[in-house]
Amino acid sequence: MQRAVAFPALCLLLNLHAAGSFSGDNDRFLPIHQRKSGKPIFIHRHVQGIEKSLDTNHQKTYKHNVRSLFHSKVSNLQPGIIEKSTFPRSAYDPSLNLLAMTGQDLEVENLPVPAVNLIVVTLQMDVNKLNRTLLQLFRRGVASSLGIQPQQVHINRLIGKKNSVELFVSPANRKAGTFEALPSEEVLQSLDINVLHQSLSQFGITDISPETNVLQGQHEADKIWSKEGFYAVVIFFSIFVIIVTCLMVLYRLKEKFRFSLRRAKEKNQEIHLSPIPLQATQTETKTVNAMVQPRLAPKAVNTTVDPPNRGTADIKASISAGPSPFKMKPVGLQERRGSNVSLTLDMSGLGSVDPFAAVPIPREKVSLEYLQTASRVLTKSQLQDTVATSHVLQTEFMEIPMNFVDPKEIDIPRHGTKNRYKTILPNPLSRVCLKPKNATDALSTYINANYIRGYGGKERAFIATQGPMITTVNDFWQMIWQEDSPVIVMITKLKEKNEKCVLYWPEKRGIYGKVEVLVIGVKECDNYTVRDLTLKQGSQSQNVKHYWYTSWPDHKTPDSAQPLLQLMLDVEMDRMASAGRGPIVVHCSAGIGRTGCFIATCIGCQQLKEEGVVDILSIVCQLRVDRGGMVQTSEQYEFVHHALSLYESRHSAEAIQ
């Protein structure tokens, strides 16, 4: 009886196994109890067969329970296929390795496979419904389309979001326990599409393509600081150091070359004395204290010396020809040590001597001569015509020397700390010198400002200076007090991209060094602001007007010259009202561009008013003799012509009326 029951049950189990009822995540085995023999007893629930797995219409599934008791024979039926899918899964998901055969090394699957070895197959069928049997069929279909063994096809991942299967193919001679994979491009070239669609038509394959493995990308990201990367960084840093070193060497060579040029320039400017034949008309006389003694009777000497940097120093004398009047006496100890009395000249016996002077470099001599002699007088009609020929004005402007000052010409230690720009320096001959705080502090006398001659060569009509800095605000107000300036003209904003000037006046009251500044009133005009200031020092006081012109655009000239002309007329009225006081102080940022335009316009307007003609070229040259770089660009040079042309037109109209 027992044999009769056991045999049909065994046949039923074999049929179920053939239908795949022991495979996939849809087969669940629940342990009920365990006999004394140690073998578990299972309840098997068959959920879905292969036909139902291929059904995409979500038909109603039928479930039935089959309860059987398995003895020792059950353990012999495919023991490696039973999956404990109802138990909690670990981080390593076994469903990604459903095709792994018994005894196969599972570490080969779900690895960071290189992107060149991966193939992604996109399906119409829901990959979440794939069980073990379906994946075996899928694996065999891919193998048959490639003409290889199914063991060479490896399922790496099931991608639910893309509804695709990620796989790779290993070579036929792969060693056990090692990872080898064929390139995806090579595999796709050997793929037979027709065979693939015939064998896997029920899966609905829509796309086959290579794709980057996410795990591989992460693995490669971890290798950023690899050995090769470290070497690359070291090589890059070494090249950078070499380039910087070469640039430093080139800079040092450039500085050395410039220093040698300056030394040559200084040598060319040395004064050389040579014996001059004189007429012997007097008997020899000797002076005890003279190192160079004349042998002839005294003669009158007429000496004419021009200031340095303006022309050659000439010494003209008229005496008779004869033997050399110089006779050297023995040099004493004091003279050999370089005392300032080591050379004493007794000129009482000199007659007529040819002039001797320092010979400047030819280029500098030509530039100075041009600034002192250049002229182009324009009548009113010529002024109007010249404004229309901008190219002529540009050519004329380019010929005017800038006459910038060499830092070596200013013999004041650390004067650079008081300069806003390194290359914009005051001319030493016309520089404004402040009263020193003590006899040994030469820096306290320095301010980047120059006296500027006005119309008709009037001395100290203006002062052109840079915009005050934080370190020079006290010096600025000391200069205003010292020079008794009635008007300050500021032609810049405080900031235009970069800082142009600091706010050097108070809102109501401020003390700057020894000068107290009080703001009495403020008047807002269309293009500028006027402040009435009172300066106090001790019991003395001065009244100063401060004009702040803010309509000048940065790095170009105004569209109209009318606001500047109006400012100039207001300043001129204040100057006339304060006759007998000091110069008008004008500043922008560097103290040469807009400042030069304003001063040149003032001088040109006075010349037009007094003479009816104007010589703008001569005016600009005169400004640059006093302070290098005045009227800084060709556009500003043209703007001065436009402003004077507008002034002449209105002045003529007023004269007619």
Q: Which residues are catalytic?
A: 588
What are the structure tokens assigned to 312, written together?
């050659």
Q: Which helix or strand (DSSP H or E) is residue 156 part of?
A: strand 153-159
Rounded to 5°, the CA angle 369-373-378 comes to: 150
Nearby residues of 549 by Cβ (< 8 Å), 6 or more positions away: 489, 490, 491, 527, 528, 563, 564, 567
- Give phi and psi for 576, each to the nearest 5: -65, -35
Tokens, residue 622: 């005169």
User: From CA 526, how far away is CA 79, in angstroms rounded?
Assistant: 101
SS3 440: coil
Q: What are the CB-based long-range contacts (under 8 Å, 24+) for 214-221?
A: 215/111, 215/112, 215/113, 216/112, 216/113, 216/114, 216/115, 217/115, 218/112, 219/112
DSSP code per residue over 515-575: EEEEEEEEEE-SSEEEEEEEEEETTEEEEEEEEEE--PPTTS--S-SHHHHHHHHHHHHHH
Q: Which residue has the tokens 């940097």?
A: 309
- Residues at the binding site for substrate are 554, 588-594, 632
Cα–Cα dist 70/42, whole Å: 8
Task: Report CA-CA distances (Å) from 71 to 11, 29, 39, 44, 364.
Answer: 15, 16, 8, 15, 119
Here the tokens at position 15 are 């049929």
**For the purposes of burial, counting CB atoms within 10 Å of the CB of 530, is it exposed (0-12), middle (13-18) or buried (19 or more)?**
middle
Give me the amino acid identity at 301: V
Structure tokens at 279: 């007429």
Which positions make up the binding site? Answer: 554, 588-594, 632
